[in-house]
Copies of this chain bind each other. A is one copy, B any other.
Amino acid sequence: MAVTNAVEPRYAVIKRYIREQIEQGLWSEHHQVPSENSLGEQFSVSRMTARRALQELTTEGVLVRHQGLGSFVAEQKPVGSLLEVRNIADDISQRGHRYSNQVLLMETCCAAADAALALDLPPGSELYHSIIVHYDNDLPVQWEERFTNPRLVPDYLEQDFTALTPNRYLTQVAPLTEAEHTVEAVLATDEQARALQIAQPEACLLIKRRTWSSRGAVSYARLLHPGSRYRLGAQLSMNRN
């Protein structure tokens, strides 16, 4: 393969610069980025070229622009409508219900094959392991079993997850850049059925979620929902109209 010798267009240089400022945390959400004119001076390009960089970053959702005001770093939101990385506590409060949870387990364990694979770690590595049941108005709606990479989140076990969801805590200490979900249907184990207060046999939705931050795979969670108390939804429309 030949090295691509293509020169990077000037507007791309500006785009890259802005992205870097944001990724390095120098410009956080709602920070005002330089104006078209000042970027033009800074990079010795015309206003229209600087404008193009800002414009494209806007359509890509990195910036928001307001006429008369300026350009600002956008709030970071996940793309993809169906399976966003949501915090179940927020979902429940948003419905106007009371959220609570119970921590069943917090431990250090040795990675089994599947968890090690999911976190890109060698089998037998030390992992943090937690099991939490989430309640919606005292009705259990999710069994969360989670494996977390101790190198990226060293103080995971010291957290009080009745106050702050693991999901929320993790997104704070290791802002996630990527996520992967799979959805399948399984029967609950007896232990899970007891914790979720469901009769056996019961079909459950099992969502496996892997999340990455810029430093690597952070966490691997298995989220089990009683089939009778949970569903996923998605709308989609075609490109046209």
Interface residues of A (CB under 8 A from B): 19, 22-23, 59-62, 74, 76-85, 176-187, 201-206, 225, 227, 230-241
A176-B238, A184-B230 known, 17 other contacts, Cβ within 8 Å: A19-B241, A76-B240, A78-B236, A79-B238, A80-B81, A178-B235, A180-B234, A182-B231, A182-B232, A183-B231, A183-B233, A184-B205, A185-B185, A185-B204, A185-B206, A185-B225, A203-B203
Query: How far apart sit A61 and B234, CA to CA, in the bound complex (Å)?
Result: 20
Rounded to whole Å, the gap between the CB of A220 and the closest CB of chain B is 15
Q: How far is the CA of A85 from the CA of B234 in the complex (A)?
A: 11
Answer whether A241 and B177 are a contact pair too, CB < 8 Å, given A183-B205, A184-B205, A185-B227.
yes
Q: List 5 A-B contacts (CB under 8 A).
A: A80-B234, A82-B181, A178-B237, A180-B235, A183-B234
A82 surroundings in chain B (CB, below 8 A): 80-83, 181, 234
Q: How many copies, total?
A: 2
B183, A240: Cβ atoms closer than 8 Å = no
Whether B237 contacts A177 by the Cβ 8 Å rule is yes
Measured CB to CB, the closest approach of chain B to A172, in angstroms, equals 15
- In the complex, what distance in Å separates the CA atom of A176 from the CA atom of B181? 27
How far apart sit A84 and B236, CA to CA, in the bound complex (Å)? 8
> A206 vs B205: C-alpha distance in the bound complex, in angstroms?
10
In whole angstroms, how far apart are the Cα atoms of A78 and B240 in the complex? 9
Q: Give Cα A167–Cα B19 distance, bound, in whole angstroms.
A: 42
| Partner of A203 from B186, B235, B241 at Cβ < 8 Å | B186
Residues in B whose Cβ lies below 8 Å from that of A202: 187
From B62, B231, B238, give the contact of A239 (CB < 8 A): B62
